[in-house]
Amino acid sequence: MKDIEVDPILYISLIKTIRGVLSLISKPKDYVLKWLRRSIRWRPIGAGLSTIRLLKQYGFSSKTIKPQPFPCSELKEITNLISAHGLDKVIAEAIVLASTYIVPVIILDEAVLDKLRKTNSVTYEILSQKELKDKDIKLHMRISEYSIKDYHIDVISRIERAIEENKLEEELKWREKLCIKDSKRYWRIKQNRGKTLIVYIDILRALKDEYASLSKITGKSRYSLLGLGIPIGLIIPAMLK
């Protein structure tokens, strides 16, 4: 399966139909894969080509998992830049695709969360001690879609100005405040302790010193700015425990 760049018709189709981007780095637990099989029965979900290869390696495939190509080659460059800062390329790919397609990251194994934390890519975590059922997970997947879609254009417009003016540090502070404010949407499960169920992912935190590289990449294509949003990650193994 080769990397391809998407045509506008396919991009619009995917952006209107998929409800998330799958992410994993190691083999998910059996109960997680059973949940995935249940959850994608009727509505498709997206995945990067690297993730699809991993899933097939672990014996899992489905026609409702839709391959997500990059709309432009510069988004691959951003993925490579993130990877150069210590985040596995398969995870970086999922984050950039989630931002580009404006959907949440559906994290299938907790090793992904560990990697995100180690690279300082998590800006806010939602904790909970509550037990969630499938309908609760489905609800919060939908809420996370609303979150990302509501603030995406503001985030992308602001990051373009921040890169032009070399004000990434200031922008990071604004983005963190945005995530804290937006987290109120999750009042049904949000508590001060417990397991991490939902995270706000901001790879700009890992790239804050890469002004020159970001300026070069985004200068070649404004479409690359789509990959610099703040996708939300749902930690499925923690939600199912």
Local mean pLDDT, 10-residue blocks, the chain (241 residues): 60 90 97 95 92 95 93 93 95 97 97 96 96 94 95 96 94 97 97 96 94 94 94 97 83
In contact, 237 and 120? CB cutoff 8 Å:
no
- pTM (2 decimals)? 0.94
Q: Which residues pair with 23 in a beta bridge?
A: 107
- The span from the first CA to the last CA of the chain, in angstroms, equals 34
Q: What is the pLDDT of residue 6?
A: 65
Q: Is the dihedral of CA 210, 67, 47, 99 positive or negative?
A: positive
Residue with tokens 């254009």: 153
CA distance 220 to 237: 39
CA distance 40 to 47: 12
Residue with tokens 């988004």: 75
Q: What is the pLDDT of residue 237?
A: 97
Q: How far is CA 201 from CA 96, 176, 228, in A?
A: 10, 10, 10
In contact, 71 and 116? CB cutoff 8 Å:
no
